[in-house]
Structure 1
Amino acid sequence: MQEQRQDADGFVYVSLAQLMAVEHRTRGLSFFARQPLSSILAGNHSSRLRGRGLNFDELRRYQPGDDLRHLDWRASLRYGKPFVRAFTEERDRPALIIVDQRMTMFFGSRRSFKSATAAELAVLCAWMVFHAGDRVGGLVFNDSQIERITPIRSRTRVEALCASIVGQNHALSASQPEAESADAQIDKVLQHTLAMAGHDHLICIISDFAGAGPRTLQLLRELSAHNNVIAMQVYDPLALKLPEKGRLMVTQGELQVELAVDRRQVRQPLGDFLTGRLKDVATLLRRSQVPLMMFSCGEEPLEQLRREMGRLNGAPR
């Protein structure tokens, strides 16, 4: 196991103790509700999440109050009396939490790095799944490594997911260059996810989706055909709005760059570039018909998740 960093403050690097301690904060939150999920950036785009799957139990005589949609017309015609197909709900459902810890995530201009925000979001999702009585697993990836955790309903499995996230999070460093094939890594991870998730899985993908392209779109559509998929895009506040005055100190680990954002020739192209990248990815995710939630690393992850879950549960905006 990788040695724990002494500078794990939760904003640049996370700790195992910190991630395990958020369990009680997820009480009352649920991914599955009666109302559709509407994203922050997607306007009118909405998508219903499937409930638990149903297993066929028995064929029996119709009783008053039975759902007429479950009438078995073939059996009813054969016996001259109405028969219905009875189903039982699956006891639990596997969930895969996909967590991005690539170098593109090792950036932050306010509050925390995207990598730390993604780590906390992932564990919040894992505890929500666990308390719903479902199995927890996932994939944690960086620029060159993909670690798979098979879904099991166990507190120790949540801890194993947390440990994997912490290990890859602590491996991030400003002196570490981005891999040349980083753009293809998101697609490789989704292919691994397809291999793990046959059908009726809940799949939460937590990433900045850097490098997403046409192949990503195709893979997301394949995943969502038989599973509940939620895209959680983590972004830095600079991508939406740059300060209008003064100088901006941006840090990426040990590296620091001072930007004179009050100069138009600096501010406008930088703002256009950052906003354009965010919108391009959001547009691609909308085309996949996968529900999209946006999370700023400048705000507390749990409060943002509560807002999104409120919309999911039909609460007013």
Structure 2
Amino acid sequence: METSELLKKVRKIEIKSRGLTNQIFAGEYHSAFKGRGMAFSEVREYQYGDDIRNIDWNVSARFNDPYVKIFEEERELTVMLLIDVSGSSHFGTQKMFKNELIAEIAAVLSFSSIQNNDKVGVIFFSDKVEKFIPPKKGRSHILRIIREIIELQPESNKTNIAEALRYLTNAVKKRCTAFVLSDFNDFGDLPSDIKFEEALRIAGNKHDLGAIKIFDPREVELPNVGLLEAVDAETGEVIWVDTSSAAVRKTYNQWWSDAQNSLATAFAKARVDWVSVATNEDYVKPLIKLFKHR
């Protein structure tokens, strides 16, 4: 991608996501993700109703009047975005590709974070960790993240979310707020599902974890368009599907429904809040829903 085209895309995403952040998300984000604790701010004279446990006896003795310590919430958090860059994210039949929607949502979360004085870091993953950007503050850092989302060329097209979760658990020592942005299309194979559920549970116990599932409406049900050539974006496997068959369409729909129910069960067991967002859907309401569940 040429530099000028890249900058235009980055700027477009920045304008949209900052606008949403300022108008909608900042307050919701602040309410949802509390700081690490309370930090001392100042002292003032005791007022009726103040907690006597907060009296500063040294200052009170100096001025011969009771003074209390005032505490404020420590706002600074570390926010980690786990972004799926596997081959299946390069798909879309509606308003945008899945990876484009992931880029916008990641930008909104990033700008919401820095507006609340939080650090933001990113783990880009396929079936391995493709790139790790350590948490930092500032607009230039967020723009770097957006550029990487648009420009990053992963070494692998496959997916292993469990590997990304394990990396989060090991690389980020202190408790953080983390969001996994993925289509979760590798969920459905029993051995990998077990590893995913274990990694999800461990990461969810250590960090404040949330998940955002991205999907395209065409993935939910097959259209009746006759013989269809389908290519697996992650393995390159080509298969022919007879979509004119009602039995084939029903089997596929049942597979999709079962996979979503299994995924929902995995999140519930790990006590991880999650929402799903379609490529033709306004993501504002799902994100606010996710924030309010915190």
TM-score by length of 1: 0.69
Shift in Å, 1:256: 9.7
Asked whether the 8 Å contact 2:182–2:214 carries over to 1, the reply is yes
Is this contact kept in 1: 2:21–2:111, CA < 8 A? Answer: yes
Corresponding letter in the other structure for 1:20: E
Q: Which has the higher helix share?
A: 2
Question: Aligned partners of 1:249, 1:297: CA distance in 2, in Å?
Answer: 22
Q: Residue 275 of structure 2 aligns with which residue? A: 293
- Asked which structure has the greater RCO (Cα within 8 Å, sep 6+), the reply is 1
Deviations 1:173-201 (A, max 9, x none): xxx9844xx3xx31221122123333342
Q: Distance in 2 between matches of 1:270 and 1:62?
A: 68
- Of the candidates 226, 233, 252, which is equivalent to residue 213 of structure 2? 233
Q: Show the counterpart of 1:42.
A: none
Identity of aligned residues (%): 18
Aligned length: 270
Q: 1:221 aligns with which of 201, 206, 212?
A: 201
Q: Name the structure 1 match of 2:61.
A: none
Q: Which residue among 154, 165, 187 is the counterpart of 1:190?
A: 165
Q: Which runs of 5+ in 1 are unaligned?
A: 9-13, 35-48, 76-82
Of 134, 137, 141, 1:150 maps to 134
Distance of aligned partners of 1:64 and 1:229 in 2 relative to their CA distance in 1, 3 Å threshold: farther
1:263 corresponds to which residue?
A: 245
Q: State the 1:207 CA deviation.
A: 0.7
Task: Provide the rounded CA distance (Å) in 1 between the counterparts of 2:125 and 2:209.
Answer: 18
- Structure 1 residue 26 and structure 2 residue 21: aligned? yes
Amino acid at match of 1:203: A
**Letter paired with 1:186:** I
Aligned equivalents of 1:249 and 1:67: distance in 2? 71
Deviations 1:15-37 (A, max 9, x none): 43333332223223045466xxx
Q: Is the 2:169–2:206 Cα contact (8 Å) retained in structure 1?
A: no
Contact persistence 2:126–2:157 (CA under 8 A) = no
1:54 to 37, 40, 49: 37
Q: Deviations over 1:10-57 (max 9, x none)?
A: xxxx943333332223223045466xxxxxxxxxxxxxx551111454
| Unaligned ranges ≥5, structure 2 | 58-66, 188-192
Structure 2 residue corresponding to 1:130, chosen from 114, 125, 129:
114
Aligned to 1:206: 181
Q: Structure 1 CA distance, aligned partners of 2:168 and 2:36?
A: 19
Counterparts of 1:220 and 1:199, CA distance in 2:
17
TM-score by length of 2: 0.74
* Correspondence for 1:140 among 116, 120, 124: 124
Q: 1:239 to 1:5 in 2, by over 3 A?
A: farther
